[in-house]
Structure 1
């Protein structure tokens, strides 16, 4: 097998939280994570958008930046970017070969009792790429939770918790307090932590952890509507104003740590950031498709609110979901924005089948027009027939590959006047 094939073979081990394997692996690589400064971004929703905004602002300020996010949309190397540009496949494969060779050696000596997971190995690849490419500041998105996530080996200049809501309860706990405790695990002694607007139970836990660690807590409140200059956000949706507040507070915290971030760089971060598959319209030959990575109840609610706030809906929805998600709450949240549900199949062993999803939709929204089409490309064509506009959401593992295929077929990104990003006052 090639190193890339061996990396993907690690997916069979699924999710395994803990820091022992990643620490052993990074020690054997001579701690590439010590070669750069970092910002660590956790949260239920918004952490990808905030990661992208913060990286864009730091790059505007002249820093050589790294960005590490997950999951990828279509190609694994999309997880790693240098100065906003995805690393090329050859560089990714070369570093992957090094990391896999180190894993082999650690297994032979017994230093690694078990093989690392795909995410642990990919995290090591990212950090080694950053070291080799001379990254000065890496903005690192947490994969799952925070406390036991493989990225939590870094000691950042700023920690971030964007939001806390229900998702991944099987791994993080069944209450907002329990989820908050896991995400607050990214808080390090003395390191400032920026937090978005949190539910009371979650905020209480985060506040307690920050106090215990002596970490200054910076609450990123929404902008004062009576002060400041309006900046049109590059990303659509009212929720992006909340994400922008977190990004601004984070960049300001970086400035207090000596990074030369000025107001103009923050404006660039908000107005020029690119983060695909987040309320992204693609124009195809058959009509316009709204691609959104909403994959949990809060994301589904955000999508529905976006449609309600524009003149675009309700619209047909092509939906595919993972079996371990709160499908019922997601469907109920999206229903007001949907004129017709088309259940489809995500190419993943974790996915809920199209027919099973259709049964759930019909039970939850009995009056809704709904059908199942397992082939997602065909589902989009059916959704567009007669309407020329449709949505696709429910899982990144659905929208990412589908988006890539649409673009390969000639689709181009467009921006609806009615869906222009919200203003943010700065």
Structure 2
């Protein structure tokens, strides 16, 4: 197909450094100066609406979606920014719950890229903006163009140095959960990672945490709430929660309650909101050649285990798993809960990502007799489905990466 104007704009974006697809093991950004300067040149679009800011190791996308849909149901004009996308870059910017159309995103991206390229030519700091800086700025410009009254921003990585952390104090800041992830960047302990993610908490906001208050991370986050002078602090955690949805709904309801207390909105998280807010690749259920396929982009061990337990509660038969792993992750820890229960595991990769282990590398790292390496993810799915179909009640579990889910979803359309 011939290149469209939107394709050309995305190609300009893709020419910028993209930390989502780079080796970050030796370091990444050191400050927010480029994105701060860029937004200044654009007239500081982040100042034009009320804000909810969401960080966390798991659930931040789903919580953002739940809060957004509750606000939409209450009559607000809502922009939602999230990452990564599963199939289309337009998923990252949503207006009233719908992916932004290419023309509107193209207008915003072009405005931002024009500034970046001019600043780069002039040797100024805004010209150093990364892919994610530019995408974040474009989302905020698109929200301004659309006249949103609320923006719900999901952190990309960490929090303190994330491109989204250029906003003023939000109505509510959220840290959903803390797990050991991106340890070369965020720190080696739950407490260190909590401090990085808690970097989004600002004076005067209401702070909602989904962490166990007695855990290492929970104690650090309580300390941050005291240090920053927040207007209120809610611990939205319960040992009774057994599914991702229960965890996420509890956190989202705490956010909406905080907004009601601040007289920012009159909204609620009810059954209609929950149904409308479900995102692709998060405990997504499909059928492929009459075999049930459960997909979840879980990428830390406790999330993989929780997703697997939820799936196994629905499907009692034998299953085969398809797994891809980012090279910053602990492959053995991710695979452990799967290998404990699965009939077999198909190791695969995400072609072209540049940041996932190859299937051969996974095979070498895991050393398990039930493991098979299939490099192409669609072929890996087909192999898992072939094996599952041969057994009564057989099913397939796809996990380890939202990028993997994105590739495989295309096979299921």
Say whether the fold is shared (TM-score over 0.5).
yes
- Determine whether 1:137 maps to 2:150: yes
In 1, Cα distance between equivalents of 2:155 and 2:108: 21
For residues 291 and 116 of structure 1, do their structure 2 counterparts lie closer, same or farther at Cα, with a shift above 3 Å needed?
same
After TM superposition, the structure 1 = structure 2 runs for residues 19-168 of structure 1, keeping only pairs within 5 Å, are 19-112=32-125, 115-154=128-167, 155-168=169-182
Q: How much does 1:313 deviate? A: 4.4
Q: Is the 8 A contact 1:286 1:381 kept in 2?
A: no
Q: Give 3-state SS (helix, strand or coil) of 2:202's partner.
A: coil
2:236 maps to 220
Provide the alpha-carbon RMSD of the alignment.
2.0
1:210 correspondence with 2:225: yes
CA offsets per residue over residues 315-354 of structure 1, 9 Å max, x none?
A: 1011111111111110112222321111112121111010
Paired position in structure 1 for 2:344: 340
- Count of residues paired in the alignment: 391
Which segment drifts farther, 113-122 or 248-257?
Answer: 113-122
1:142–1:149 contact (8 Å) kept in structure 2 = yes
Aligned-pair CA distance for 1:190? 1.6
> Are 2:308 and 1:294 aligned?
no
The CA deviation at 1:108 is 2.3
Contact kept, 8 Å, 1:307 with 1:313, in 2: the verdict is no
CA–CA separation in structure 2 for the residues paired with 1:285 and 1:315: 15
CA distance in 1, matches of 2:139, 2:322: 33
Other-structure match for 1:423: none
Contact 2:322 2:381 in 1 (8 A): yes
Partner residue in 2 for 1:260: 265
2:174 match: secondary structure: strand
Could you tell me which runs of 5 or more consecutive residues in structure 2 were left unpaired when the two chains were aligned: 1-6, 23-27, 390-394
Aligned position for 1:382: 383
Partners of 1:319 and 1:11 in 2: how far apart?
27
> Match of 1:341, SS?
strand
**Residue matched to 1:284:** 288
Question: How far apart, CA to CA, are the structure 1 residues paired with 2:118 and 2:384?
Answer: 51
* 8 Å contact from structure 1 (residues 18, 150) kept in 2: no
What is the alpha-carbon distance in structure 2 between the residues aligned to residue 279 and residue 376 of structure 1? 18
Is the contact made by 1:152 and 1:186 (CA closer than 8 Å) also made in structure 2?
A: yes
Give the match's secondary structure for 1:153. Answer: coil
| 394, 398, 402: which one aligns with 1:392 | 398
Q: Secondary structure at the match of 2:128?
A: coil
Q: TM-score, normalised by structure 1?
A: 0.87
Q: What per-residue deviation string (whole Å, max 9, x for no partner) do you get for residues 166-224 of structure 1? A: 10111100011110110111110021100112362111211111111111211113399
- Give the superposition deviation at 1:17: 5.0
| 8 A contact 1:172–1:179 mirrored in 2 | yes
SS of corresponding position for 1:2:
helix
State the alpha-carbon separation in 2 of the partners of residues 275 and 337 from structure 1.
26
Q: Which residue of 1 aligns with 2:329?
A: 325
Task: State how far apart, in whole Å, the 2-side matches of 1:330 and 1:339 are.
Answer: 16
Check the 8 A contact 2:179/2:300 in 1, yes or no.
no
Question: How far apart in 1 are the matches of 2:265 and 2:299?
Answer: 36
In the other structure, the counterpart of 1:403 is: 409
Structure 1 distance, partners of 2:387, 2:133, is 46
Give CA-to-partner distance per residue, 1:32-82, whole Å, 9 cap, x none: 111111100011111111111111111111101011000000111110000
Distance of aligned partners of 1:278 and 1:113 in 2 relative to their CA distance in 1, 3 Å threshold: closer
| Distance in 2 (alpha carbons) for counterparts of 1:52 and 1:384 | 31
